[in-house]
A and B are shown apart, each in its own frame.
Chain A
Amino acid sequence: DTAVSQTPKYLVTQMGNDKSIKCEQNLGHDTMYWYKQDSKKFLKIMFSYNNKELIINETVPNRFSPKSPDKAHLNLHINSLELGDSAVYFCASSQGGLRRAEQFFGPGTRLTVL
């Protein structure tokens, strides 16, 4: 059983389109995250949700809108895609409040904007 799953694994789309990436975790964690890894492998937090509530919103264009329908799901919708959005997007989850709460990462979604 996959702990953190993301769909799709690959996403190729044209500039200006709107797309969504879905994430689900079956670990019973209460905190979920979206990270972006750019072409130079640099990883940066985008959003974090705790019990469906947005708690971290880094400086991300408002074309990116996360949605958490329940504790186990965190989706990422991107409007009006731009070339610079091409990256690998990782979903992660952890048990919030624990000091050594390691984050479990999904397999990543490679987004290519043409």
Chain B
Amino acid sequence: AQKITQTQPGMFVQEKEAVTLDCTYDTSDPSYGLFWYKQPSSGEMIFLIYQGSYDQQNATEGRYSLNFQKARKSANLVISASQLGDSAMYFCAMREGRGAAGNKLTFGGGTRVLVKP
């Protein structure tokens, strides 16, 4: 079974509008972390935002916020006021367990976002 599922392979969004990227995950470990990364066409992986399984509040970083619904096992990324530079692949990832051995990231298949002017 997929541990991280991103159901939207691609989407268009109008500049200045908000967009929500879906991510659902599957784990039986009570301690886990969820990450979102951006990969522009240049290829580098850029960390955007983190949500810990024990965090009480939804994470926010500038225009990025995470809609964390623990019972539903979803961690959707919301990008507000989209900009042309937001056009990229977006990956949701999960870290399970503790310590150094628990540090590997399991990635979803990604969502390609194209911002239209």
Report A's interface with B, CB cutoff 8 A.
30-31, 33, 35, 40-45, 48, 50, 55-56, 58, 88, 90, 92, 94, 96-97, 99-105, 107-108, 110
Contacts and interface: CB of A to CB of B under 8 A. Distances in A.
Interface residues of B, number: 26
Contacts of A96: 99-100, 103
Given A96-B103, A97-B99, 9 more contacts: A33-B103, A33-B104, A41-B89, A44-B107, A50-B103, A97-B100, A104-B47, A105-B45, A108-B43
B43 A45 contact: no
A96 B98 CA distance: 9
A42 B43 CA distance: 13
Interface string B36-50: 010100011101001
Contact of A45 (B39, B44, B104): B104
Interface in B63-117: 89, 91, 93, 95, 98-101, 103-107, 109-110
Contact of B105 (A50, A103, A110): A103
Given A100-B50, A102-B35, A41 B101 contact: no
Contacts, number: 69
Greatest chain A CB density within 10 A among B91, B93, B100 is at B100
Contact of B109 (A30, A33, A41, A94): A41
B106 A45 contact: yes
Interface in B23-69: 31, 33, 35, 37, 39, 43-45, 47, 50, 52
B101 A55 contact: yes
A31 B47 contact: no
B45 to A, nearest CB: 4
10 contacts: A33-B104, A40-B109, A41-B39, A45-B104, A56-B101, A56-B103, A94-B103, A96-B100, A101-B95, A102-B47
Contacts of B101: 50, 55-56
The 10 lowest CB-CB distance pairs between A and B, nearest first, are A105-B45, A96-B100, A50-B100, A43-B107, A45-B104, A102-B47, A100-B50, A55-B101, A108-B43, A41-B110
